[in-house]
A and B are shown apart, each in its own frame.
Chain A
Amino acid sequence: DVKVTQSSRYLVKRTGEKVFLECVQDMDHENMFWYRQDPGLGLRLIYFSYDVKMKEKGDIPEGYSVSREKKERFSLILESASTNQTSMYLCASSVSGSTGELFFGEGSRLTVL
């Protein structure tokens, strides 16, 4: 069974803290993505990566960075967390050149106090 695993389901952090969200996929997919979901705003793309050490900005990259050192792992970093980054974060992966179908992880609910 294919799987995208996000390291933490629930996190509570304080304003100004550095936050790491880890994502691992076991499907040998080339493409990996980070989205955030907020009520009324849908799924918004933060960053994506088509290959190891490559990254592309999505629609809302401000305040975030990413790292892809290995094909199976894609990390989202909040350098200095702020309250407006309280959200559900979703990692996904897909096969390059496919229909674009995404396989999502279960999500990480981040609360910044």
Chain B
Amino acid sequence: DQQVKQNSPSLSVQEGRISILNCDYTNSMFDYFLWYKKYPAEGPTFLISISSIKDKNEDGRFTVFLNKSAKHLSLHIVPSQPGDSAVYFCAARKLGNTPLVFGKGTRLSVIA
């Protein structure tokens, strides 16, 4: 049973435009959400996070939106750059010292 779902395996966006990556979750016990970025042959790196008590968190070109009623979050990248081309993983955490639950990832390609 997949608790964190990224339904789009891939996304292609023109350089300079907005990239929107989506993530849905099923477990209402999740209280913290994170996005990771992964380049080939490297480990994932933390990108941005949001607590369940907020609905938006912004860091430079990256903004994460959380809609708790819909159990949905999205990552917006504006403007998209070729260096943003990577696999993006959505992850969620339940309250307490429990492992993150990851989605399957979305491969973003930013075309120059």
Contact = CB atoms under 8 A, between A and B. Distances in A.
Interface of A: 4, 9, 31, 33, 35, 37, 40-45, 48, 50, 58, 90, 92, 96-97, 99-107, 109
B104 A50 contact: no
Contact of A100 (B34, B38, B42, B45): B34
B43 A43 contact: no
Interface residues of B, number: 25
Given A99-B49, A101-B34, A90 B99 contact: no
Contact of A42 (B49, B51, B97, B102): B102
B76 interface: no
A43 B99 contact: no
Given A42-B103, A99-B34, A104 B97 contact: no
6 contacts: A41-B104, A45-B99, A99-B93, A100-B99, A102-B46, A106-B43
B46 A101 contact: yes
